Amino acid sequence: MKRGLVVCGFAVLMIASWEIVCRLKIWSPVLLPNPLAVGEYLAQAIRDGTLWQATLVTTKRLLIGYFLSILFGVPLGLLTARFKFAEDTLGVLALGLQTLPSVCWIPLALLWYGQTEGAMLFVVIMGSLWSILIATDNGVRTVPPIYARAASTMGSKNFHTWIKVILPASLPFIVSGMKQGWGFAWRSLMAAEIYVTILTGFGLGHLLHYGRELNAMDQVIGVMLVIITIGLLADKILFSPWEKFLHRRWGTARN
Amino acid sequence: MTIEQELANVTPEKLTVEHVSKWFRTRRATVHALDDVSLTVREGEFVCLVGPSGCGKSTLLNIIAGLESPDAGRVLADGKPVTGPGRERMVMFQESALFPWLDVLDNVMFGLKLKPQLKNQERREVAEFYLKLVGLEKFATANIHELSGGMKQRVALARALAPNPRVLLMDEPFAALDAMTREQLYGDIQQIWAKRRKTIIFVTHNVREAACLGDRVVLFSPNPGRIQEQFTVDLPRPRDINSVELAKHSTEIMRALKRHLRPEISEVAE
């Protein structure tokens, strides 16, 4: 309750200082619209449905791409951690591709898939898959070998050991890898949407892009605020419960 | 058949170690961990393996558990060669090796879940029975990190006992605990051993601990790991680690130990 008040109070303070800066008329209102103008844009965009529509399109792309990345990234990470051969092939590939900024995938995706949803998904997956894979691999390697030994004396073997011991034991790493992967996916999708017009759906990145084209600073700032809000919400809804659970179980919480 | 054979009431051999040797090859050197070790343990016997670090006692325990394989010789459990780990021989490690992602009850239930013939409700009841046996029934839903070192080892003991193994292999399970907690656990382990009639092999570098717990104390010496001598401790149970009779036994074993390994004395605690 108290922390909620602090967060709200801070937000009010930020908006108030923004308003004050606007009233000082240091910059032209074209470059820095006041909070009210941005609020009006947002209200109008919500009313005519563009904002809602764009958010839906963007989050759909993001969620599909992201969950595909997890679906492949975690098992592949287990694979590279388990088998030397996978480590020397797939592991090295992942390490290499992870260093490639995901914006660099956009030209290739466009040539391969054209201006389609496929291109968007491809960029999102390439952005997050490798970091999830590497985090999983890393997590598995830090699992104390005694866990698997103890499990084996209780009759646990191969697959059972992996699912019931190695995987949960590396969960703290996997969750932080998933969080990082989420960040990468979000970034690559925004880059892709700003960079290319996709005929099948108009996302938040496009709104931002057209805000620039139209010189509509209220739109640019408004959409940026929406993007920030989605990022915050995702963190709270997708990751906070997991992290709280892990901290409680492992005893790594600060208080 | 002679009359002696007819009247003999021999307890069956539970574990037989036959001429086991083991080498560890590292990049720098080859360590001869065990050299032609033979040992027989009867059903229901409490045997302590004592020796300084590096004498191969833990290695032998791991080989009996099936976690490692010998380079020569073999281990028989109930007359059958040991080829891998099995529920019949549960291991308790120095670090509790409890799983931090499970609560106390689920840790104890881990091994039970691998027993297909049980129903889930039965598994729960069995786990609760063993938690009660180690005196931690109130902590069933606690997280592992919330337990003290002694409590963790109790949970580990309950987890090892839960699948109802006939043999319990303990690798310095109390070495990391403080003296008070350790004394409590000496009492508990003797009580549980008497109640459940397990065969226990207990590895330690603490001679007094070995004399307190074991029916038999097997003395190892390092480089290469060998059995030097065996002592029978026939004191009544439960034994008090601070009793004078026990001190006599441990002194005798300690003397033998010093005879066998002059340079390594400092590593062994009395």
Q: What DSSP letter does each residue of B142-172 carry, written as one string?
A: -BGGGS-HHHHHHHHHHHHHTT--SEEEEES
Q: Is the Cβ pair A169, B101 closer than 8 Å?
A: yes
Strands ordered across the beta sheet of B13-25: B30-42, B13-25, B72-77, B80-81
pLDDT in tens, B48-67: 999 888 888 899 999 999 99
Domain assignment present for A255? no
pLDDT of residue B171: 93
- Is the distance from CB of A185 to CB of A101 less than 8 angstroms? no
Q: State the total domains in chain A.
A: 2
The region that residue B37 occupies, defined by phi over 0 for left and psi between -120 and 50 for alpha, beta otherwise, is beta
CATH (domain of A165): 1.10.3720.10
pLDDT of the residue at B72: 92
Q: What is the DSSP letter of B205?
A: S
Q: Which pLDDT score, from 0 to 100, does residue B94 have?
A: 86
pLDDT digits (tens, 9 = 90+) for A88-108: 999 999 999 988 888 899 899
The residue written with tokens 């030209």 in the block is: A107
Judge whether residue B156 has pLDDT over 90. Answer: yes
DSSP 8-state class, residue B175: T
pLDDT at B139 (0 to 100)? 92
- A172 and A221 assigned to the same domain: yes
**DSSP helix/strand/coil, B13:** strand
What pLDDT digit, counting tens, does each position of A216-241 carry?
A: 899 999 999 999 999 889 888 888 88
Is B110–A149 a contact, with Cβ atoms under 8 angstroms apart? no
Q: How far apart are CA B130 and CA B258, in angstroms?
A: 40
| Cβ(A228)–Cβ(A190) below 8 Å | no
Are B188 and B158 spatial neighbours (Cβ–Cβ below 8 Å)?
Answer: no
Asked whether residue A12 falls in the same domain as residue A51, the answer is no
| Contact in structure between A80 and A91 (CB atoms under 8 Å) | yes
Instruction: Give the least confident one: A168-182, A193-207, B179-193.
Output: A193-207
A23 and A73 fall within a common domain: no
Domain-located, residue A151? yes
With pLDDT > 90 as the criterion, what percentage of chain A qualifies? 57
Mean pLDDT of all residues in chain B?
88
pLDDT > 60? residue B268 = no
Q: Same domain for A159 and A61?
A: yes
Coil/strand/helix, residue B41: strand
- Asked if B100's CB is within 8 angstroms of A250's CB, the reply is yes
CA distance A159 to chain B (A): 13
Q: How far is CA A4 from CA A7, A10, A14, in A?
A: 5, 10, 15
Same-domain status, A117 and A187: yes
Give which of A204, A56, A214, A76 is closest to A132, Cα–Cα: A76
Same domain, A122 and A187: yes
Of residues A193 and B4, more confidently modeled: A193
pLDDT band at A202 (very low <50, low <70, confident <90, very high): confident
Say if A166 falls within a structural domain. Answer: yes
What per-residue confidence (pLDDT) applies to A47?
Answer: 92
Given pLDDT bands bounded at 50, 70 and 90, which one contains residue B92? Answer: very high
Q: Note whether B99 contacts A155, CB cutoff 8 Å.
A: no
Q: Is residue A254 part of a domain?
A: no
Q: Give the contacts of A7 (CB within 8 A, at least 6 positions apart).
A: none
Q: How far apart are CA B21 and CA B71, in angstroms?
A: 6
Give Cβ neighbours of residue A211 (< 8 Å, ≥ 6 apart).
A217, A219, A220, A222, A223
Same domain, A77 and A21: no
Within this chain, do residues A13 and A112 fall inside the same structural domain, yes or no?
no
- Percent of chain B at pLDDT > 90 equals 44
Same domain, A8 and A124: no
- Looking at every residue in chain A, the average pLDDT score rounds to 90
Nearest to B100 among A155, A156, A249 (CB): A249
The residues that bridge with B31 in the sheet, in sequence order, are B24
Q: A24 and A46: one domain? A: no
Indicate whether B127 pLDDT > 70.
Answer: yes
**For the segment B180-196, what is each residue's pLDDT rounded down to a tens digit?**
888 888 988 998 898 88
| Rounded percentage of chain B residues whose pLDDT exceeds 70 | 96
The distance of A232 to chain B (nearest Cα, Å) reads 27
Strand order in the sheet with B199-204: B89-92, B167-171, B199-204, B46-50, B216-221, B226-232
Looking at residues B163-176, what average pLDDT do you find?
A: 90
Which residues of chain B make contact with A160, given a CB cutoff of 8 A?
114
ipTM of the complex: 0.84
Q: Which has more confidence, A200 or A161?
A: A161
Q: Are residues A239 and A184 in the same domain?
A: yes
Inform me whether the pLDDT recorded for A121 exceeds 90.
yes
SS in 3 state form for chain A? CHHHHHHHHHHHHHHHHHHHHHHCCCCCCCCCCCHHHHHHHHHHHHHCCHHHHHHHHHHHHHHHHHHHHHHHHHHHHHHHHHCHHHHHHHHHHHHHHHCCCHHHHHHHHHHHHCCCHHHHHHHHHHHHHHHHHHHHHHHHHCCCHHHHHHHHHCCCCHHHHHHHHHHHHCHHHHHHHHHHHHHHHHHHHHHHHHHCCCCCCCCHHHHHHHHHHCCCHHHHHHHHHHHHHHHHHHHHHHHHHHHHHHHHHHCCCCC
* CB-based contact A152 B93, cutoff 8 Å: no
Q: Which two tokens stand for residue A24?
A: 């000082």
**In-domain check, residue A11:** yes
> In this structure, is residue A56 part of a structural domain?
yes
- Rounded CA separation B31/B15 (Å): 26
What would the mean pLDDT of A7-35 be, rounded to a whole number?
Answer: 90
Report d(CA A125, CA A66) in Å as an integer: 6
A150 lies in some domain = yes
Per-residue model confidence (pLDDT) at position A29: 84
Asked whether residue A86 is domain-assigned, the answer is yes
Structural domain that includes position A25: 1-30
Nearest CA in chain B to A144: B97
Q: Are residues A26 and A50 in the same domain?
A: no
Contact at CB, A155 and B111, closer than 8 angstroms: yes
